[in-house]
Structure 1
Amino acid sequence: MKQAGGPMTEAMYYVLLTLMNPSHGYQLMQAITEVSSGRVKMGPGTLYGVLARMQKEGLIVLADNDGRRKTYAITADGEQALRQEYHRLVAMIEDGVLLKEGDRDA
């Protein structure tokens, strides 16, 4: 797996997150907007670029191709990378407690 715990782009994070339920491109664009409460809107160019990259890295697979639409699913490596990124982001938020409490010069 190439992700190795390093930072993931926001687009990659939301694609993997929404692919916890296999989806095709249009469904993914809608799901990303919904999951992010409208904060992230992904166009087809960005989406298909990210999908191609993640497929090449083994984070997702083409689950079905009926000739009209391609359905993608997250792999075990993809889920592991997503969970690593989630924990990294949570740690960053926890580190940010300093902003709420001020400096700790004790």
Structure 2
Amino acid sequence: MQEPTFLILTALAAAPRHGYGVIQAVEELSGGTVKLRAGTLYGALDRLAEQELITVDREEAVEGRLRRYYRLTDAGAGVLAGEISRLRRNAEAAEEQLRRRPGGLAAGFAYGR
């Protein structure tokens, strides 16, 4: 799973959000390193909806424009949980390999950044 997809699913994990809310949440979750453009986001939302990982929660008119809210489905929550486990295993394996490095974690590695 690519990082933007992971972050979109994460942004929708706690509560439904509209598109701009997802963009803001992804930027915040990534510490500002992932900034989604609207075209990229809506393409990803359409793909995730086709995969039944997210669904439209509701729509409302705001200042004459339709605002669509998306939410994570149970299937999406399962996929997200699986990805969290996979990333955690990979991070632990990487950390173990760094411990085996001469000098340990501190040798050339700023842990926790």
**TM-score normalised to the size of structure 2?**
0.81
- RMSD over aligned CA atoms reads 1.2
For residues 29 and 49 of structure 2, the distance between their equivalents in structure 1, rounded to whole angstroms, comes to: 22
Gaps of at least 5 residues in structure 2 are 103-113
After superposing on structure 2, the runs of 4+ consecutive aligned residues of structure 1 that deviate more than 3 Å are none
Match of 1:59 in 2: 53
Shift of 1:101: 2.0
Which among 10, 15, 28 is matched to residue 17 of structure 1? Answer: 10
- Identify, as 1 or 2, the structure richer in strand: 2
The one of the two structures with greater contact order (alpha-carbon pairs below 8 A, sep at least 6) is 1
Mapped to 2, the partners of 1:12 and 1:66 lie a distance apart of: 25
Task: Quote the residue 1:4 is aligned against.
Answer: none
Structure 2 distance, partners of 1:100, 1:28, is 37
Q: Which stretch shifts more, 62-71 or 45-54?
A: 62-71
- Mind listing any 5+ residue stretches in structure 1 that lack a counterpart? 1-7
Shift in Å at residue 82 of structure 1? 0.3
What is the CA deviation profile of residues 28-59 of structure 1, one whole-angstrom value per residue up to 9, with x for unaligned ones?
10010011111111110110011000000000
Work out the number of aligned pairs and report it: 96
Tell me by how many angstroms 1:93 deviates.
Answer: 0.5
Structure 1 SS opposite 2:70 = strand
Structure having the higher Rg: 2
Q: Counterparts of 1:39 and 1:46 in 2: how far apart (Å)? A: 15
Q: 1:41 aligns with which of 35, 42, 58?
A: 35
